Amino acid sequence: MDTLINTPDIMPTLLGLCGVEIPKSVEGTDFSKALLDGKTPEREDALILCPAPFGQWTRKMGGREFRGVRTKRYTYCRDLDGPWLLYDNEADPYQMKNLVGCSRYSDLQANLEDRLNRWLKRTHDDFMTAEYYIAEWNYQVDENGTVRYES
């Protein structure tokens, strides 16, 4: 299946595959019918995010909270300071050339920012600081303020 999915789509899809009724409170899309029918569901974009730096991605290593949108061709992210990353995954599959702020891509960047804002509204995401989520979800952090990752 070549489609864009979000992490919240996994649970409703698994419930659908098991024939279990999906509670109304569950976020995400049930792709089970498409999987069972062998069809590729169409989705134009998917939300990507990091509410707080975690694991080895410390703030010292560039870790930050961000939100983004991924289309089949482009990846766009912003952090709390504004646009951060824009990649053309077709022309630059290894994401080596960041196009954020390039005037040639200003219309594209505006379009992807609009898509991201629609996702944030749809998911009720106010895009707060990492410290907010750390306190809200009672995450444990290390001396760098990075969420501890224990395997």
Condensed to tens digits (0 to 9), the pLDDT of residues 101-142 reads 999 999 999 999 999 999 999 989 999 999 999 899 998 888
Do residues 98 and 87 lie in contact, with contact meaning Cβ atoms separated by under 8 Å? yes
* Positive or negative torsion for Cα 34, 38, 39, 43: positive
Q: Does domain 45-151 have CATH number 3.65.10.10?
A: no
Using alpha carbons, list the distances in angstroms from residue 15 to 74, 77, 98.
30, 31, 39
pLDDT in tens, 7-22: 889 999 999 999 999 9
Model pTM? 0.84
Q: How many CB atoms lie within 10 A of CB 79?
A: 15
Dihedral, CA of residue 20, residue 11, residue 120 and residue 84, to nearest 10: -160
pLDDT of 150: 66
pLDDT of 149: 66
Range list for CATH 3.30.1120.10 in the chain: 45-151
